[in-house]
Amino acid sequence: MALVIAFLFLGSFASAQLPLPAGVPRGDVLVIENHYGTHSDPKNFNYKVPGRPGFGASGFSQVCAGFLWYINTTTSELINWLAAAPPEYSEDFKTVKIHIRKGAYWNDGTPFTAHDVVFTIKMEMEKPGFQAHYVWNSWIEDIYAEDDYTVVIKLKKPNPRFHYFLTVIIYGPPGTSGFIIPKHVWEKVDDPLKFKFYPPLCIGPYNLKAVDPAGNWFLWERYEDWWATKLYGIKPSPKYVLYIHHGPDEKKALAIVKHELDALRTLLPEAAEIVIKNNPYIIGWRREPPYAWPFDACIKGIAFNVHVYPYNITEVRKALVFAINFKEIYEAFKGIDGSLPTVSVLPVVRTPVADEAYYKPLIDELVKLGLDRETLWWKYDPEKAEELLKSVGFSRGPDGKWRLPNGEPWTIHITAPSGFEMESQRIGFLVEQQWERFGVNVEVEPVEVGTFAVRRWRSKFEVGTFWPGCSLLIDLAPHIQWWHTKYYDPEAPKQGGWEGYMFPKRDELNKIIDELEMTPPWEKEKILELGRKALLIWAEELPWAGFFPTPFYTFQDTYCWDGWPTYPDNYYMDPVSWWAQHLFVILQLKPTGRCEIKEALTEPGAKPVLPIEKQ
């Protein structure tokens, strides 16, 4: 597969702003936001190692990577993709069979087989340093290929959800990265932890065409001989897909107003206002206001590194939470179109279903812990915050500023994103104001994506404006199982290291999660009961404090392309262009006729629905 060097295109734009090959019209290109901003090492596609920018920013997970299954988060439907059927479990849930789809092949023509799956998992098991290392070694007794199209996995203990580790749920598969790598490429590599996998060998409908040396964009070209086209007639309309970082919010807003950006992740409310007022072709998750998607899976807030003093002290974390006036945070994210934040004090997005399943049954216990019934967030109580800090030896100096128990001035260092995830940066500065008012010195350090990713995924921070709590399924097992100590990687503790934090109820929490993991998904009442117990223990400790999934202005421009999912009339997939599931949106888009096309298809191929094919 030839990779055209990026600089060849730099002098011949088809648009004044878009880096496209000479002669390519705008209508041939789908332009999506690279939501992680500038990549420090854009030619590194080894997303198996933690500390990299998310693989949805470059487009790798959406148009290139190979996943066995996806979950459609709008319907909870399991989509069989490179797996030809749902997983086959033994009666005791200790053996899993995976049936591989016959006829699928890598984009160099090499067949995709069970041996690729076995090689991927064994490599990650054998090498500490891979994201999935501790997951696989916690569960897998043995794994082998029964034949070219059947994987057999023997488990150490029952797990009726083991396949979730290989299923795209939120963004990608939980805890493992989950994409399968080509054995015939990686088996020749001396050190897979340092291998950059550049250019990546894809099994999706596009191949990498060019990369910006400065790290701002990635251009993918449609692969005309894609296996799903040959087998099932599935073919995307766009000839090219460009993932690009235009810059800060105002530049993204200008790009989508000028029709130089077709889909973005989100904007702050004031930038969204620019788009709403100046682009009549814009839609959000609805075609009419309010446009912002209210149920992003991840709750934005502040994370404490619970392995760093003094944030390893529960009273300190709670004091800092009670020192925050939540109403001021909430007001900063309201939109002119009526879009409002969905307050989610627990690490469970408060959808109507989750409200009934978790929030209402726990409300009285949460109030005892300090919940404000009016705001549905923790109460603003500076007096209680002061009492908690003094109880663990903190004191105020003559200047009214807080001092550590040893008498030294206390300064909190907050890590925040710079140039991307602007809503989390805003949270950082808003919280700074709150804590400064309370008498704590605070320094906010906005950092670019490379540094941010390392600090976040290896817990190289004190306090960070992150999003540790993500959920969409009512079955919380795939979302909170990572709180168990067996998944703690001391070399890469995630987002503050809650999974390795020791506290009085640690054993109880571990046992709850063990039982939750082994409870079949259809035992709904037991799942809810165990989930509530785990959430209450979390609330007692507060290793992080989530505010809400910020209103996500997932704008989709209908000027060049349409067929986007919109609620409620055509809501076939959540509008998440940075998730791996966005493949199924790309496969259903079509040109509107307003932009010149040359090699784009006027209609996409067959619907991306594959048959179940078991041997």
Condensed to tens digits (0 to 9), the pLDDT of residues 427-467 reads: 999 999 999 999 999 999 999 988 998 898 888 999 999 98
pLDDT per residue over 178-203, tens digit each? 999 999 999 999 999 999 999 999 99
Residue 494 confidence (pLDDT) = 80
Cis peptide before 87 (omega within 30 of 0): no
Pairing type for strands 441-447 and 411-417 reads parallel
Average pLDDT, the chain: 94
Q: What DSSP string runs through 4-35?
A: --GGGGTT--SSSSS---TT--GGGEEEEE-T
Q: What is the mean pLDDT of residues 579-594?
A: 98
Q: What is the mean pLDDT of residues 536-564?
A: 97
Residue 124 confidence (pLDDT) = 97
Q: Do 337 and 372 sit in the same domain of this protein?
A: yes
State yes or no: pLDDT of 361 exceeds 90.
Answer: yes
Q: Do 408 and 336 sit in the same domain of this protein?
A: yes
Q: 52: which 2 tokens?
A: 């990299």
- pLDDT-derived band of residue 76, with 50, 70 and 90 as boundaries? confident
- pLDDT-derived band of residue 615, with 50, 70 and 90 as boundaries? low
3-state SS record for 430-471: HHHHHHHHHCCEEEEEEECHHHHHHHHHHCCCCEECCCCEEC
Q: Do 12 and 35 sit in the same domain of this protein?
A: yes
pLDDT per residue over 486-531, tens digit each? 999 888 888 888 999 999 999 999 999 999 999 998 999 999 999 9
- What range defines the domain where residue 30 resides? 6-64+194-293+553-591
| Separation between Cα atoms, residue 584 and residue 469, nearest integer Å | 25
| Separation between Cα atoms, residue 461 and residue 384, nearest integer Å | 26
CATH of the domain at 425: 3.10.105.10
Q: Residue 240 belongs to what H/E stretch?
A: strand 240-244
Q: Do 20 and 78 sit in the same domain of this protein?
A: no
Q: 185, 213, 228 — which closes off a domain?
A: 185
State yes or no: pLDDT of 16 exceeds 80.
Answer: no
In 3D space, the residue among 120, 240, 276 whose CA is nearest the CA of residue 183 turns out to be 120
Q: Is 361 exposed, middle or buried (0-12, 13-18, 19+ CB in 10 A)?
A: middle
Q: Do 204 and 180 sit in the same domain of this protein?
A: no
Pairing type for strands 298-304 and 544-548 reads antiparallel
| Separation between Cα atoms, residue 366 and residue 382, nearest integer Å | 18
Residue 566 confidence (pLDDT) = 97
Cis peptide before 398 (omega within 30 of 0): no
Q: Do 353 and 427 sit in the same domain of this protein?
A: yes
Determine the straight-line distance between the first and last CA of the chain, rounded to whole angstroms: 32
Residue 564 · residue 391 · CB < 8 Å = no
Taking the model in full, what pTM does it have? 0.92
Q: What's the Cα-to-Cα distance from 119 to each of 36, 178, 184, 414, 457, rounded to whole Å?
A: 30, 13, 10, 40, 25
In 3D space, the residue among 179, 229, 197, 234 whose CA is nearest the CA of residue 61 turns out to be 179
CATH of the domain at 273: 3.40.190.10
151 is a domain residue:
yes
Q: What is the mean pLDDT of residues 337-361?
A: 96
Report the SS3 class of residue 156.
coil
- Least confident window among 17-26, 313-322, 507-516, 574-583: 17-26
Residue 11 confidence (pLDDT) = 33
Q: Do 443 and 316 sit in the same domain of this protein?
A: yes
603 is a domain residue:
no
- pLDDT-derived band of residue 390, with 50, 70 and 90 as boundaries? very high
477 is a domain residue:
no
Residue 496 confidence (pLDDT) = 85
Q: Do 135 and 263 sit in the same domain of this protein?
A: no
The number of domains in the chain is 3
Percent with pLDDT over 70 in the chain? 97
Q: DSSP character for 407?
A: S
Q: Do 259 and 373 sit in the same domain of this protein?
A: no
Q: 519: which 2 tokens?
A: 């409870």
487 is a domain residue:
no
Q: DSSP character for 310?
A: T
Residue 420 confidence (pLDDT) = 86
Residue identified by tokens 């967030």 is: 377
Residues 6+ apart with CB under 8 A from 491: 128, 129, 458
465 is a domain residue:
yes
CATH of the domain at 93: 3.90.76.10
Q: What is the mean pLDDT of residues 265-278?
A: 97
Q: Do 401 and 468 sit in the same domain of this protein?
A: yes
Q: Do 245 and 116 sit in the same domain of this protein?
A: no
Residue 473 confidence (pLDDT) = 87
- What radius of gyration, in Å, describes the C-alpha atoms of the chain? 24
16 is a domain residue:
yes
354 is a domain residue:
yes
- Least confident window among 86-100, 360-374, 452-466: 452-466
pLDDT per residue over 205-223, tens digit each? 999 999 999 999 999 999 9
Q: What is the mean pLDDT of residues 544-549?
A: 96
Instruction: Give the other-Cβ count within 10 Å of 331's Cβ.
Output: 11
| Separation between Cα atoms, residue 156 and residue 158, nearest integer Å | 7
Residue 7 confidence (pLDDT) = 31
Residue 433 confidence (pLDDT) = 98
Residue 17 confidence (pLDDT) = 66
Q: Do 266 and 377 sit in the same domain of this protein?
A: no
φ and ψ at residue 252, rounded to 5 degrees: -65, -40
585 is a domain residue:
yes
pLDDT per residue over 110-132, tens digit each? 999 999 999 999 999 999 999 99
Residue 78 confidence (pLDDT) = 94
Q: What is the mean pLDDT of residues 272-278?
A: 97
Residue 33 confidence (pLDDT) = 97
